[in-house]
Amino acid sequence: MIVIGTSGFSYADWRGSFYPEGLGEHDMLAFYATRFPAVELNFSYYRMPTARTLGAMAAKTPEDFEFVIKAHRSMTHELGPGPQRQAAFQEFREALRPLEGVGKLGAVLFQFPWRHRPGPGALAYLGEIRELYPDLPLVVEFRNSEWDRPETYEVLRQAGLGYCCVDEPRLKGLMPRQNLATSTVGYVRFHGRNAAKWWNHKEAWERYDYLYSAEELREWEPAIAEMDARTDVTYVFFNNCHAGQAARNAQMMLDLVGPRARSSSPPRSGGGSDGEDAGSGP
């Protein structure tokens, strides 16, 4: 099954293009869930999530809605000594309990920075991730093209870790576009193709300021279909979030893949604050 959504949902500049004008921030998730069946949460990279926040989010969505959540930066970008890492993993796992309890946790995404390069320690850490979370669906995203080697994919397969395929500018040093699944979970992230701003930007959102054309999305349709045939579920998320472009492209992709994609369901009633989404990832 193909599951399509966006990276984050709480964006003020989506009002008018996706959200109705005047829609309150606390009503955004419920509205979002009427359009898409899953969301990739990025705020959890910037601040450690809590069970209270994720439980409130779960209550605002339909029973079959899914959350994919990005690992906190202490688990990918700011790795400390072993005991410190283990404490971070434990705190993060406790926050996930409400999503796990109602069957709404799709996967955890470990997105590593460009400076994170392969080596004995980095490869061993992939195994450590699986040891710390032996029972969770996990996906790994690399930014540096040095990871594009057979050894990487074999380590992922052996550990049962999913590989995040990316669509991003074809620049030296970045991971290539490819159709690859290393576990029962397929994954694709669309970052946009704004080559001019990828390395040269003042604000993080500028890197992801891009609207895909229908032709560019059609390039991916057969690859996503093949990935779906080899996995239990294939997630497709759009991270080009500036000015509602991600929501527009996600809907275009839903229209392209048609009945192979899971549709959204009417939201169930519920209250509570969702917390803020910090926007496109680093």
45 CB-side CA count, 13 A: 21
Please determine, for residue 279, whether its predicted confidence score (pLDDT) is greater than 60.
no
pLDDT tens-place string over residues 191-244: 999 999 889 888 888 889 999 999 999 999 999 999 999 999 999 999 999 999
Q: How many whole angstroms separate alpha carbon 49 and alpha carbon 20?
A: 28
Which tens digits make up the pLDDT trace of 198-213? 898 888 888 899 999 9
User: What is the tally of helices (H) and strands (E) in the chain?
Assistant: 11, 8
Domain boundaries, the chain: 2-260
Query: Which two three-digit tokens encode residue 225?
Result: 């279909």
Q: 2-260 has which CATH code? A: 3.20.20.410
Q: Which residue in 128, 170, 122, 157 sits closest to 142, CA to CA?
A: 122
Q: How is residue 40 annotated by DSSP? A: E
Taking the C-alpha atoms of residue 138 and residue 235, their distance in angstroms, rounded to an integer, is 12
Q: List, for residues 147-176, the tens digit of each pLDDT value.
A: 999 999 999 999 999 999 999 999 999 999
How many angstroms separate the CA atoms of 161 and 59, rounded?
Answer: 29
